[in-house]
């Protein structure tokens, strides 16, 4: 079978009666051409069945169409689902992704970022939280972060405070004797701190007995299970025969705690009510579907990529207008009532 000849810039130039320089500008700086000339060249590409040589284009203009991603881990179902949704934006924006898992080690993540920079990535999406945003901003590449400290870079986050209010208000509806929030130690500059603040404010406003339990829950199933088993033992000692309303910082951790309850009692005890956070797939796949605060993970992922692409596209213009201040987008969460709070008493 005879192999088709690759269509070159010279072929396109002859077909359109434009110079090769004009054809090159179409691919590398289309804004420098009139819309009429862009349409002529675009039609010629279809007529000639042009197949772009990606490698040649990268060598010619240095634009790789690669975006780097750093995630802290994939044990937490929130991160795995967020990554899944980000990768799906390829169909809409046409950018490819290089992904590294930092495992919450700052030096490791710095090494990964340098590796990504050597691949001439055009932008970065950062979900890990070990490297300060000031240091990220100094990389001088478009960056969008998700759910981490973001003072010096653009970000897309959930309204965590509203989510904390929603979760706590749901537990309060059930007349629990004590409300308990379980979370990792979280500084105020981290968006997820809003969950703690929302919990505290509702409990104080309604004069509800409450407690916050801070624990380093780890990033493996074994560490989560061990720590949450200790928390369960503590709750049994401190609040026997009391109706306990638990707001746990993520669906992954809520599911581990739910499994511990069922393993210990054969079912979820009637004196426990449980709300997670994220609406990641594990919340519906759990042995009992878990009530949760949903984060619109698909929308956050899309908005993060869109915000990054806007910055990258701007830099490709002849006279780019760079952002004077970072853009911070906040997405409203939603409450989902499921069996861990809505079962029969």
- In the chain, the domains with their CATH numbers are 9-61 (1.10.260), 66-157+297-331 (3.40.50.2300), 160-296+334-342 (3.40.50.2300)
Instruction: Find out whether 110 and 131 touch, Cβ atoms under 8 Å.
Output: yes
At 154 the pLDDT is 97
Instruction: Find out whether 133 and 102 touch, Cβ atoms under 8 Å.
Output: no
Q: How far is CA 247 from the centre of its chain?
A: 21
CA distances from 78 to 81, 250, 279 (A): 5, 8, 8
pTM for this entry: 0.79
First to last CA, the chain: 73
The DSSP bridge pattern shows strands 244-248 and 272-278 to be: parallel
C-alpha torsion sign, points 105, 156, 97, 296:
positive
Q: How far apart are CA 272 and CA 176, in angstroms?
A: 9
Which strands make up the sheet holding 291-294, listed edge to edge?
A: 210-214, 178-183, 244-248, 272-278, 291-294, 334-336
Residue that is written with structure tokens 């998700």 in the block: 146
In tens digits, the chain (345 residues) has pLDDT values of 444 567 788 888 899 999 988 888 887 777 788 889 888 988 888 888 877 655 445 544 456 689 999 999 888 888 999 999 999 999 999 899 999 998 778 999 999 999 998 888 899 999 998 999 999 999 989 999 999 999 999 999 999 999 999 999 999 999 999 999 999 999 999 999 999 999 999 999 999 999 999 999 887 889 999 999 999 999 999 999 999 999 999 999 999 999 999 999 999 999 999 999 999 999 999 999 999 999 999 999 999 999 999 999 988 887 888 888 999 999 999 999 999 999 765
């Amino acid at each position: 079978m005879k192999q088709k000849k690759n269509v070159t810039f010279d072929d396109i130039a002859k077909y359109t009666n434009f110079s090769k320089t004009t054809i090159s500008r179409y691919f590398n700086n289309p804004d420098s051409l009139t819309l009429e000339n862009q349409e002529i060249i675009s039609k010629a590409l279809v007529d000639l069945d042009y197949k772009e040589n990606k490698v040649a284009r990268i060598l010619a203009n240095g634009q790789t169409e690669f975006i780097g991603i750093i995630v802290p881990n994939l044990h937490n179902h929130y991160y795995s689902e967020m990554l899944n949704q980000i990768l799906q934006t390829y169909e809409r924006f046409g950018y490819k992704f290089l992904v590294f898992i930092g495992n919450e080690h700052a030096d490791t993540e710095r090494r990964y970022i340098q590796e990504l920079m050597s691949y001439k990535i055009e932008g970065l999406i950062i979900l890990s939280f070990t490297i300060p945003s000031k240091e990220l901003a100094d990389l001088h590449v478009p960056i969008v972060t998700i759910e981490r400290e973001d003072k010096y870079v653009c970000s897309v986050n959930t309204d965590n405070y509203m989510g904390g209010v929603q979760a706590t208000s749901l537990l309060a509806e059930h007349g629990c004797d004590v409300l308990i929030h379980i979370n990792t130690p979280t500084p105020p500059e981290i968006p997820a701190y809003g969950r703690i603040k929302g919990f505290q404010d509702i409990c104080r406003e309604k004069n509800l007995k409450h407690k916050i339990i801070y624990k380093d829950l780890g990033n493996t199933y074994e560490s989560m299970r061990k720590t949450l088993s200790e928390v369960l033992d503590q709750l049994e000692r401190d609040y026997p025969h009391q109706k306990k309303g638990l707001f746990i910082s993520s669906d992954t951790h809520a599911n581990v705690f739910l499994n511990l309850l069922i393993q210990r009692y054969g079912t979820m005890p009637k004196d426990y009510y449980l709300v997670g956070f994220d609406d990641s797939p594990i919340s519906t796949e759990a042995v009992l579907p878990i009530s949760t605060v949903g984060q619109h993970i698909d929308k956050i992922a899309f908005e993060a990529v869109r915000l990054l692409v806007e910055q990258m596209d701007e830099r490709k213009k002849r006279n780019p207008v760079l952002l004077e201040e970072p853009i911070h987008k906040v997405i409203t969460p939603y409450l989902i009532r499921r069996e861990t709070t809505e079962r029969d008493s």
